[in-house]
């Protein structure tokens, strides 16, 4: 997506001035999770965290 394209959220604003920051944060978080999942110990910690979140803790 180029900076001149309209934002996919439907605001009518350019992507770079609307949701780009949120997309960048989400992509960075995704990359960190991918890296952590390659480490068995960290992967188990993440799985445990997700189980607790799903339980409402």
Give me the pLDDT at residue 52, please.
87
Alpha-helical runs (H) found in 1-57: 20-37, 40-55
- Per-residue tens of pLDDT for the chain, all 57 residues: 655 799 999 999 999 999 999 999 999 999 988 888 888 888 898 888 888 887 764
In the prediction, which pLDDT does 56 show? 61
How high is the pLDDT of residue 1?
Answer: 61
Question: What pLDDT shows up at residue 57?
Answer: 47
Q: Give the whole-angstrom CA distance, residue 21 versus residue 27.
A: 10
Identify the pLDDT of residue 55.
74
């Amino acid at each position: 997506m180029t900076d001149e394209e309209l934002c996919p959220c439907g605001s009518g604003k350019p992507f770079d001035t609307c949701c780009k920051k949120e997309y960048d944060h989400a992509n960075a978080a995704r990359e960190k999770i991918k890296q952590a999942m390659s480490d068995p110990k960290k992967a188990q910690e993440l799985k445990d965290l997700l189980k607790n979140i799903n339980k409402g803790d």
